[in-house]
Structure 1
Amino acid sequence: MNKQGQYIYCFFVLIFLFCFLFPLKSQEYKFKTLGVENGLSQITVSDICQDEKSRIWIATLDGLNCYDGNHIKVFNHFHNDSISYGNLYVTQMIEDGQGSLFLLTSTGLFQFDLETEKYYLLPVSSPSIIAKGKRGVWIVEKGKLLLYDKVSHCLIQMYKDLELPDTGTTMVEGVEGTLWIALKDGGVICVDIYGGASLHLLGIKVMKLIRGNDRNIWVGSQEHGVFCFSPEGNMIHRYEYDNKSIYKVRNDMARALCQDLEGNIWIGYRSGLSKIEVASGKIFHYQADPNRVGAMSNRSVTSLYTDKQGTVWVGTYWGGVNFFSPEYQHFTHFHASDTGLSFPVVGAMAEDKAGNIWICTEGGGLNLY
C-alpha cells in the first residue's frame, strides 16, 4: 500500500472510531440528590410515585414526603383529634388517579387526600399487601381479600370462601380484572372476576409478579425459574434452569422482573442478570465486572425498570445503578460519588412525566437523573 492509500485507510479508521465513540461520550449525565439536608424526613426511601399535579411523593422509614420541584414538605407525624400515630414507616404506596394516596405503614393502612392533605385510617387491622385495581385498591388482611371501592368509598369483602395466608409477597391485577397473589408458603393464586380461584405453582416460592406489556403475567421464583401465564390464567411457558445449557435461566432467586419495549423479559437475581428474548426463546446472561467498560457493576440485582425510551435500568446492592442501552448493547454504570449517585444500594425506580428518572436508595435519600 502506498502512502496515499495508508492516509486514506487511517482517515476512514478515525472516522469509524469517532462515529462509534462519540455517541457514548456526548451525553452529559447529571444527578440531583434529595437528602435530609434538603428537607427529606429520612434517608431510606421505600417507594415513590407522581400525582396528577406532577408532584413527587416519597415514602420513607419516617413518614411521607412531597416534592413540588422546589421544596419538600414532610408528613411524618400523623394524628387526629383523639389519637396520635407517631412517625410512620411507609412500606408501600399507591396513587389511585382520583386524588388519593394509599399508604401501607407500620401502623395500618391510610388514605391520604391529596387536595386537603388530610389522612384517614382505614378500618383494616393487619393489612399485609395492597395493589391498585380498576375498581379500587386490593387489600389482603388476615388471610382475607378486601376491595376498597373508589366509587362508594367502602371496604368490601371479596370472595368470602377464599382463604389466604396471613402475609404475601406480591400482588398484581391482570388486564381482564383477574387478581394474582403470591402466597407465603409457595404458589400463586389467580382469582377471576366471577369469584373463581385457581392455584398454580404449588410448593414453589414466588418472589415477583408483574403484568407485562404483552398482557401476560410473568412470575419469578426462588429456585425454579420464570413462568409466563396468559391473562386467562393458563401457563404459556416455563423457563427452567439447566446447568448444561447457557440458554436456560439461572438457579437463583428471581427477585426483580421487567419487560422492555421489544417484549423481552429481564430477570434480576441475587447473583446476576438475564434476558429472555421472548420471540426466539433464547436466554442471555450478563456478568458483572466493575473494572470492565460496558459490563454490569455488581451481580446482586435489587430492582429493574424500563423507561419510555426503552432503556433498562438495573439497581444493585452496593453497586449503584446501571442502564442498558439497546442501541449500543452495553451497560453504563453510575456509582456512588460526590457528583453521581448518593448511595450504592438502590431500591425502586420510576420515571416522571418529564422523562426524569427517580432512584430510591436505602441510605442516601432520593436521586433525580
Structure 2
Amino acid sequence: MTNKNLFIFLLLVFQQSFGQVKNYNFININSKSGLSSNTVNTILKDKYGFMWFGTDDGLNKFDGQNFVVYRHSETDSSTIGRGVVMAMQEDKEGNLWIGTNITLSLYNRSLNNFINYDFSKLGWIRSLQADHLGNIWVGTYAGLYYFNPKTEKIVTYKANPLRKDQLNSNVILSVFEDSKNRVWVGTNAGLHLLNPKNGNFIRFVHSKENPLTISNDIVRSLVEDKFGNIWIGTGEGLNKIDLANKTFKYFKGIDSDFQTLSNNSIYKIAFDKEGKLWVGTEDGLNILNPNTGKTFRVDKLTSKKYSGVGSFVGRSVKDIYLDDSHTEFITVPS
C-alpha cells in the first residue's frame, strides 16, 4: 500500500484566537502511537467519553492516552465481526453498533465482547444510522436495510430506477435521521427522503437543465444545522435543500477565490457548536460560515502560520468528528 492510500488520524485543538483567525494545532496520531492501522474509516465518541476508531485492521478504543484494539478471530464468535470497520453508531440506549464489510456488530460493554449479525449475503456495509426508535438503518453497496435489534427482523429496500418513488440505486453511501425523525438516504445516484407511511421515497437528482436541482448525484454526507436545514455533501459541491420548494442552493469551489471550497468533491460535513460547517474535501479541510457563504481553507501553510506548532498534514479529508470539548478528530491520507 502506498502512502497516498494511508489515512492518518489527526487531533485538532482550538487555541485562543489570533486576530480574526483561530489558531489550529494539529497532532498526528498513527500506528506508532498505538492505532492498529493508519487507515481510519470512521470515528465516534460514546456516552462514556471513549473515542472509537474503525480501521482497516480492527476497532480501536481510545481513553485519551492508550488504545485497546479489537480484532476478529475465526475461532472466537464473541470477537468483532469479520471485515474492515466502515461505520459506527450509538443508539438511544447508548449501545455501540459497528458495521464491518459483512457484519453488523453490537458491542457488549458488560462482557467486553461482541454480538454479531451476518450481513455477508445482504451486501458490504457502508453506512449506519440509529433512529429514534432504537432500530438501525444499514446502508450497503447492495441495498438499504432496516434492522430491529429486539426482533432481529430485517426490512429490505431495493432500488428500482424505473419508479420515481423508489431508490434510484442500491449503492447506499449515507443514511441520516433528522430532528423531525425524517430519514434521508444518499446514494451514488441521488438523494432520497423516505415516506414512513408507505415505504416509498421522494427522489432528488441532478439535472443539467435545472440549476435549482442538487449539484451532483453522489451523496456521501448529510447533516442538519440548528435551524433544521439539511446540508448535503456531494461529489460536486455542497448543497442546502429548500424542502418546501424542493430546490437546492449550492456552494462550489473556485480556484481563484480562496474564500470558496478548496475542492468540490466532498466526503464529510459536520457543524460545530458555533454553527460553522466543517467540510472535508478531496483537497483539504474547509470551514464554511453559512451566514456569509465564505470559506476558510485550513491547509499546511495556514495551520502552521497560525498555530506555530503542528501543521495540517495530508490531503483528502475522509471523516470529521467534532467534540463538545472543542477537540476535533479528522482522518486524512498522508
Give TM-score, length-normalised by structure 1: 0.66
Maintained 8 Å contact 2:165/2:202: no
- Please say if residues 195 and 202 of structure 2, whose CA atoms lie closer than 8 Å, have aligned partners that are also in contact: no
Aligned to 1:171: none
Q: What displacement does 1:262 show?
A: 2.7
Q: Is the contact between residue 209 and residue 219 of structure 1 (CA under 8 Å) also seen in structure 2?
A: yes
Q: Distance in 1 between matches of 2:117 and 2:201?
A: 39
AA aligned opposite 1:263: G
Equivalent residue, structure 1, for 2:130: 132
Matched, 1:312 2:310: no
Matching residue of 1:29: 24
Name the residue aligned to 2:322: 351
- Aligned counterpart, 1:250: 215
Q: Tell me, which stretches of 5 or more residues in structure 1 are unaligned?
A: 1-21, 150-154, 165-180, 189-198, 365-369
User: For 1:360 and 1:44, how far apart are their aligned partners in 2?
Assistant: 8
Partner of 2:11: none
Task: For residues 271-330 of structure 1, give each alpha carbon's deviation from its aligned partner in whole angstroms, at most 9, with x where no partner exists.
Answer: 22233345776633323135532111111111222233322121112x111111134431
For 1:267-346, what aligned pairs fall within 5 Å after superposition?
267-278=232-243, 283-317=248-282, 319-335=283-299, 339-346=310-317
- Equivalent in the alignment of 2:176: 210
Amino acid at match of 1:349: I
Q: Secondary structure at the match of 1:27?
A: strand
2:230 pairs, out of 235, 247, 265, with 265
Contact kept in structure 1, 2:83 and 2:101, CA below 8 Å: yes
Give SS of 2:24's match.
Answer: coil
Deviation of 1:186 after TM superposition, in Å, equals 4.5
In 2, Cα distance between equivalents of 1:282 and 1:126: 37
Q: Determine if contact 2:279/2:287 at 8 Å carries over to the other structure.
A: yes
Give the C-alpha shift of residue 114 in structure 1: 3.0
Query: SS at 1:340's partner residue?
Result: coil
Residue type of the partner of 2:322?
E
Deviation of residue 83 (structure 1)?
A: 9.4
User: In percent, how many aligned pairs have the same letter?
Assistant: 24
Alignment CA distance shift 1:294-1:235 (3 Å): farther
Q: SS of 2:28's equivalent?
A: strand
- Provide the C-alpha distance between the structure 1 equivalents of 2:204 and 2:78, rounded to a whole number of angstroms: 51
Provide the aligned length of Structure 1 versus Structure 2. Answer: 304
Give the structure 1 partner of residue 59 of structure 2: 64
Matching residue's letter, 1:249? I
Q: Greater CA deviation, 234-243 or 293-302?
A: 234-243
Q: Deviations over 1:73-101 (max 9, x none)?
A: 22235466689889852122233455643
Query: Which of 101, 104, 108 matches 2:96?
Result: 101
Q: Return the alpha-carbon distance in structure 1 between the equivalents of residues 311 and 162 of structure 2.
A: 40
Whose RCO is larger (CA < 8 A, sep 6+)? 2
Give the corresponding residue for 1:114: 109
Shift of 1:61: 0.2
Deviations 1:104-146 (A, max 9, x none): 3246343322344223444666454454242454669999865
The alignment partner of 1:30 has SS state of strand
Q: Distance in 2 between matches of 1:264 and 1:104?
A: 28
CA contact (8 A) 2:280 2:286 kept: yes
Q: Distance in 1 between matches of 2:235 and 2:319?
A: 16
Match of 2:38 in 1: 43
CA distance in structure 2 between the aligned counterparts of 1:77 and 1:156, rounded to whole angstroms: 22
Q: Is the 8 A contact 1:227 1:239 kept in 2?
A: yes
Report deviation, 1:41: 1.0
Q: Would you say the 8 A contact 2:214–2:247 is kept in 1?
A: no
Q: Answer whether contact 1:63 1:87 (CA < 8 A) is retained.
A: no
Alpha carbons 2:79, 2:113 under 8 Å: kept: no
CA-to-partner distance for each residue in 1:27-66, whole Å, 9 max, x for gaps?
2222232211211111111111112210101100000111
C-alpha distance in structure 2 between counterparts of 1:357 and 1:259, whole Å: 18
Question: Are the equivalent residues in 1 in contact too, given 2:71–2:79 (CA < 8 A)?
Answer: no
- The residue type paired with residue 343 of structure 1 is G
CA contact (8 A) 2:236 2:252 kept: no
* Alignment RMSD (CA, Å): 4.0
1:71 & 1:187 partners in 2: Cα distance?
51
Amino acid at match of 1:313: W
CA distance change for structure 1 residues 219 and 187 in 2, over 3 Å: closer, same or farther? farther
| Unmatched segments (≥5 aa) in structure 2 | 1-16, 305-309
The 8 Å contact of residues 93 and 134 in structure 2, kept in 1 or not, is answered as no
